[in-house]
Amino acid sequence: MNTLECQTTIRTPVALEGVGLHTGNPSTLTFRPAPANAGIRFFRADLPGCPMIPARLAFVVATLRGTNLGLADARVHTVEHVLAALTGLSIDNADVVVTANEPPAMDGSALPFFEALLSAGLHRYLDSPKRYLHIPGEVSYENKGTSYRAVPCDYFEIDATLLHDHPLLPRLHLRVRIDPQTFLAELASARTFCFEHEVAFLRSQGLAQGGSLENAVVIARDRILTNGGGLRFKDEFVRHKALDLVGDLTLIGRPLLRMRIETVRPGHAHNIEFAKRLNEAAQGMRERPRPAATGRT
């Protein structure tokens, strides 16, 4: 078997510390190796029994300004950047242990998680092939000006368009093939962002409690506020939306390396609904009866 077709995990544990973007809670995240076919699993080390939450669509409990997972009384907020880093590095199996209800925001991108995983090294399960998501044909989803379209392809590619009615945020378009090298170069470092007029409202709703210019870009009426280094890409905002999409689609639980996705105005809630459509299409493909064997008598 080609080793690139094998399932992977990491070789050694690796940890990061910081505060949650929305909760503001201090948090330590530790990536740990996981066995083949385990998938990605979150563990709340701060709760009795260290409850586990599978990183799967069925456990999504909220999508307001981030994707949150939950099972029983355990919750993990804002998982998309962590998941994007794992998929960006083509990691199939990993345990993600957190000491609070949200991973650390780090710099607002997936880069710190990607670099930590890279430093941990990759382990390939040579007897366990990847279980790709296969779709039978075009899969589409539209809702309130947001649209998605996926078609089978020999590789994983995202074509994303971001539209906002703001003078500093023109129509942004990005087309990128997703593999570990291009994910690192083109998407991993793109940071989360919000509009300045939203900040007070978000905080009144219990969100963005840990947000700052250290982990987000803020778009004001006539300028873009960063931590002093400016934008990392001139189209950083659409790159971050593509990053979020990669993370949210990870919740399907199978590698997406064989499709092209075109999207306009993507967002977390729509990402999840589109992911469900992809999963249903693939499930239907798996459940179709095979043609009866024929032969001469």
Residues designated as active site: 268
Q: Per the structure block, which two tokens stand in for 42?
A: 């979150």
- Check: CB of residue 33 under 8 Å from CB of residue 157: no
Query: Among residues 131, 76, 119, 120, which one has the least CA distance to residue 247?
Result: 76
Which neighbouring-strand residues pair with 97? 30, 43
Cα maximum dimension of the chain: 79
Q: Which residue blocks in 210-297 are alpha helix, DSSP H? A: 236-249, 268-287
| Phi and psi angles of residue 98, each rounded to the nearest 5 degrees, phi first | -120, 150
For residue 228, count CB atoms less than 10 angstroms from its CB and return exposed for 0-12, middle for 13-18, buried for 19 or more: exposed
The helix (H) or strand (E) run that includes residue 219 is strand 217-219
DSSP letters of 6-66? Answer: EEEEESS-EEEEEE-TTT--EEEEEEE---TT--EEEEETTSTT--EEE-SGGGEEE-SSS
Residue 39, CB-side half-sphere exposure with 13 Å CA sphere? 17
